[in-house]
Amino acid sequence: MLKEIFTDLVHRYNEHPEVAKNLWNEIEKQYSGPKRYYHNLKHLGNLYTQLEGCREQISDWDTVLFSLFYHDIIYKVTSKENEEKSVLAAIKALTSINYPKERIKLCGAQIIATKSHEVNSDNDTNLFIDADMSIVGADNITYTTYSDQVRREYSVYPDFMYNPGRKKVLQHFLDMEYIFKTEHFRDKFERQARKNLVGELNGLL
């Protein structure tokens, strides 16, 4: 499904079949890496499903889709520049298909926004980062699977290093007035998300 969605998206700006094929192959390669336990193609599929549920609220659907496909294309747990490097990958890809410069800039801003998940002045960006965070508002079993997958991605770090950092991340979101920036996602996930985050936080030594 994702391949077809991406191919159709690219073809709206560049009809050459090899262009879409090559761009997709790079996306598939990156998201299918052996250490991608959570930030993988399944994550993209779930994100797409969430965005489809609020599509009528999104002004620039194509840009949000490009943000979806490129926001985690670079993901290395030991790096603090994943989002910035993902933006560069997106810029290179979108420039190659002659995507409008202002929309490339917006795509980059949406990708960067996933770094802190702070409220944004752009509604599309808020919907995008909320969709990216929707997993934390899933049912308890799904959330536990997610947190286990994240831990596996960070397996390079022993507990005494991982746990303090994870606690800081969890507390960062709990300290927010709202985890979700939009009414659409807040109504669906806010209450359960806080339960999930508190539960994980309490379980960390």
Q: Which of 159, 151, 112 is nearest to 132 (CA)?
A: 112
Nearby residues of 189 by Cβ (< 8 Å), 6 or more positions away = 133, 134, 136, 137, 138, 179, 180
Please determine, for residue 155, whether its predicted confidence score (pLDDT) is greater than 90.
yes
* pLDDT reported for residue 160: 96
Say which CATH topology domain 2-203 has: Catalytic domain of cyclic nucleotide phosphodiesterase 4b2b (1.10.1300)
Q: Which tokens is 185 given?
A: 């996602």
DSSP state of 115: T
The rounded mean pLDDT for the chain is 97
Q: Which of 151, 87, 93 is nearest to 114 (CA)?
A: 87
* pLDDT reported for residue 9: 98
Note the pLDDT tens digit of each residue in 87-114: 999 999 999 999 999 999 999 999 999 9
Note the pLDDT tens digit of each residue in 4-21: 999 999 999 999 999 999
Task: Indicate the Cα dihedral angle 68, 178, 56, 21, nearest 10°.
Answer: 0
Q: Which tokens is 187 given?
A: 């109504």
Please determine, for residue 205, whether its predicted confidence score (pLDDT) is greater than 80.
no
Report, as an integer, the average pLDDT of 136-161.
97
Full-model pTM: 0.96
